[in-house]
Amino acid sequence: MVRAYIGLGANLGDGAATLRHVLAELQATDGIAAVTASPFYRSAPVEATGPDFVNAVAALDTHLPPLALLDALQALENQHGRQRPYKNAPRTLDLDLLLYGDRSMDHERLIVPHPRMHQRAFVLLPLRDIAPEISVMGRPVSAWIAEIKDQAIERIAV
């Protein structure tokens, strides 16, 4: 089993309800076990327009290889009505594979670690909630958080 971290987000429809549903669906997915989720956060879109996002990060144990895990995540996005009319369009569900154990890969479909995760408060704050000692790209998650204080984000109760 490998510990993977997934970024979850939604800014169309009831984002919190969508994330709750997809967390249960991840737990029920063959090859995925022990799903643990961070608290939910509300954040403004980054490099995009549209409503605020509801975001979280989930840790999961999996024996799926990275591309098979990506396929499972994209299948869940599609089941939740994900559309991709243009880059960074608002979305009913966004699932990003952030980390896959200590593995690095640069494939045409997947780059791990996620290449922009260290620049995103909506990834770093929930990641710190569930894995406070984790390092991202060779630095503690808290060191990255100190560099993104200008991004509007708030923890929400759902």
Angle, helices 15-27 vs 66-79, to 10°: value is 140
14 a catalytic residue: no
94 a catalytic residue: yes
52 a catalytic residue: no
84 a catalytic residue: no
- Helix, strand or coil, per DSSP, at residue 9: strand
Residue listed under structure tokens 């970024």: 7
Residue 120's Cβ-count burial label (10 Å; 0-12, 13-18, 19+) is: buried
Annotated catalytic residue within 20, 71, 82, 129: 82
31: left (phi over 0), alpha (psi -120 to 50) or beta: left
By annotation, the residues acting in catalysis are 82, 91, 94, 96
